[in-house]
């Protein structure tokens, strides 16, 4: 790295008190890098020049962008890799060993490709970056920092904990939604069965009555005829509707609309806010512990969070942090998505110099809250579902019985 041309490097350094940090810098040479770090109170321990063609132009196949694996498989991969590297195995051999034990054939093929990349001289992080559908920005950047700083084993342990918490969080949300989903699907199945098989047998009775049918009865009969006579069109229309909704949610306006609904809907907004805050706090803490600079950490988080308004708050916050505004002030500017507690804890972390520790405790606090909410959710949703089902059954019963009462009135 000789000469006067600026080059981007990954570096690791230690302070006089033993604190480790790592990150990226544009410098002319090693002496320039060491001087900059010394001015901040750090001693350079290692550095590696970043080749632009590898960092910015990682070869990513089109289909690899959309292929993914389960969070559980990714967690097992990270855990096993951490154990093997801590045992002294080279990264390439560890990846090959995990590949031979993996039952998922597609994932096995990907690990074999990563092994070949490493053998040909590509960094582990660049090999992972070829599969953004599996290894996102968070995973790749933490591995990159681990490789440059020489503490890959520690980084993998942090990643394993992060993925484990993410898996627990996802499992709790899915568990809370399973019961209402089963009830709704069963109710829809019964409704279709009644409209297509039971109601047609009653239509002859209505025809013989020769009375004016109420609007609700006409509506149910029309729905029954539609399902019975045009089942294929109804099925195609339903599938088209689902596909259209999914496509809409991939657009900027669709993400914005869904994000707005989720953080404003009374029944679920508390859960949504706590889930996103827990995820933000844990990921940010993990990145700081890994030695990732603040701005880079916020950039990674903005690409990791899924709710539009949280992504926007973090992206806007990056510009503020670059201007010298503290993270606690950035959080305080977004009370709609970040509770007051979040800003207060971030401020305490900044004042004490223990931001990563305090945010980790905050993440654990929110995760405990989510656990409690998920346990109580079924008891909250159950009466709401019962009222909804009762109203639907009552509407159907009244619609079927009302013509009979009309006939009895005519006889009198």
**Matching fold, domains 63-135 and 156-412:** yes
How much is the pLDDT for 159?
85
Radius of gyration, alpha carbons of the chain: 29
Determine the 3-state secondary structure of 262 from DSSP. helix
Report d(CA 27, CA 12) in Å as an integer.
14
Q: Is the pLDDT of residue 209 over 70?
A: no
Among the residues of 13-104, which ranges form H helices?
A: 30-39, 52-55, 71-86, 91-101
CATH class of 63-135: mainly alpha
* Chain-centre distance for alpha carbon 304: 7
How much is the pLDDT for 61?
52
Q: Give the pLDDT confidence of 165-192 residue by residue, as tens digits.
A: 888 878 877 777 787 788 888 888 888 8
Report d(CA 293, CA 277) in Å as an integer.
20
Paired with 43 in beta bridges are 14
How much is the pLDDT for 361?
92
How much is the pLDDT for 54?
39
Report d(CA 330, CA 347) in Å as an integer.
10
**Non-local CB neighbours of 18 within 8 Å, separated by 6+ positions:** none
**Non-local CB neighbours of 307 within 8 Å, separated by 6+ positions:** 259, 262, 263, 272, 276, 337
More confident residue, 175 or 333: 333
Averaged pLDDT for residues 294-318:
87
Q: Give the pLDDT confidence of 45-101 residue by residue, as tens digits.
A: 777 676 544 333 444 454 444 456 778 888 889 889 988 988 888 888 999 999 988
The burial of 30, by beta-carbon neighbours within 10 Å (0-12 exposed, 13-18 middle, 19 or more buried), is given as middle
Q: Sheet harboring 20-27: ordered strands across? A: 20-27, 7-15, 42-49
* Geometric angle at alpha carbon 105, from 102 and 106, rounded to 5°: 115
Any idea where the domains of the chain sit in the sequence? 7-50, 63-135, 156-412
Phi, psi (rounded to 5 degrees) for 280? -60, -50
Tokens 């989510």 label which residue?
A: 370
Q: Which CATH architecture has domain 156-412?
A: Up-down Bundle (1.20)
Report d(CA 74, CA 12) in Å as an integer.
27
Q: Is the pLDDT of residue 240 over 90?
A: yes
Confidence of residue 407 (pLDDT cuts 50, 70, 90): low
pTM: 0.67
Nearest to 82 by CA among 94, 74, 71: 94
Averaged pLDDT for residues 290-294:
80
Determine the 3-state secondary structure of 253 from DSSP. helix
Query: Helices 137-149 and 294-304: crossing angle, nearest 10°?
Result: 150
């Amino acid at each position: 790295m000789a000469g006067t041309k600026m080059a981007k490097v990954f570096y690791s350094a230690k302070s006089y008190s033993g604190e480790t940090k790592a990150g990226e810098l544009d410098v002319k040479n090693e002496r320039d890098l060491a001087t900059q770090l010394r001015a901040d109170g750090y001693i350079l321990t290692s550095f590696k020049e970043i080749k632009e063609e590898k960092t910015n132009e990682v070869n990513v196949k089109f289909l690899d962008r959309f292929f993914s694996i389960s969070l559980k498989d990714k967690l097992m991969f990270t855990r096993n890799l951490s154990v093997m590297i801590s045992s002294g195995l080279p990264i390439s051999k560890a990846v090959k060993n995990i590949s031979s034990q993996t039952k998922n054939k597609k994932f096995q093929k990907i690990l074999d490709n990563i092994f070949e990349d490493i053998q040909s001289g590509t960094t582990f992080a660049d090999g992972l970056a070829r599969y953004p559908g599996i290894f996102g920005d968070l995973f790749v950047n933490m591995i990159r920092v681990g490789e440059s700083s020489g503490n890959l084993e520690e980084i993998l342990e942090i990643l394993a904990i992060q993925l484990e918490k993410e898996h627990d969080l996802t499992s709790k949300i899915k568990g809370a939604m399973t019961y209402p989903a089963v009830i709704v699907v069963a109710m829809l199945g019964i409704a279709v069965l009644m409209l297509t098989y039971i109601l047609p047998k009653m239509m002859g009775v209505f025809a013989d009555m020769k009375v004016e049918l109420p609007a609700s009865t006409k509506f149910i009969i029309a729905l029954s005829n539609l399902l019975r006579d045009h089942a294929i069109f109804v099925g195609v229309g339903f599938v088209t509707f689902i596909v259209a909704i999914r496509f809409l949610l991939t657009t900027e306006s669709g993400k914005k609309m869904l994000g707005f609904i989720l953080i404003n809907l009374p029944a679920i907004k508390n859960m949504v806010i706590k889930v996103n805050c827990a995820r933000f706090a844990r990921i940010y803490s993990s990145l700081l512990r890994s030695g990732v600079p603040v701005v880079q950490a916020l950039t990674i988080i903005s690409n990791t969070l899924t709710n539009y308004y949280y992504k926007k708050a973090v992206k806007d916050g990056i510009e503020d942090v670059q201007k010298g505004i503290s993270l606690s002030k950035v959080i305080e500017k977004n009370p709609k998505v970040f509770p007051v507690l979040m800003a207060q804890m971030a401020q305490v972390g900044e004042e004490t110099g223990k931001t990563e520790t305090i945010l980790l405790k905050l993440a654990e606090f929110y995760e405990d809250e989510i656990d409690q909410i998920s346990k109580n959710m079924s008891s909250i949703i159950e009466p709401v579902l019962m009222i909804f089902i009762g109203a639907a059954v009552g509407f159907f019963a009244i619609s079927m019985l009302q013509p009979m009462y009309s006939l009895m009135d005519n006889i009198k």
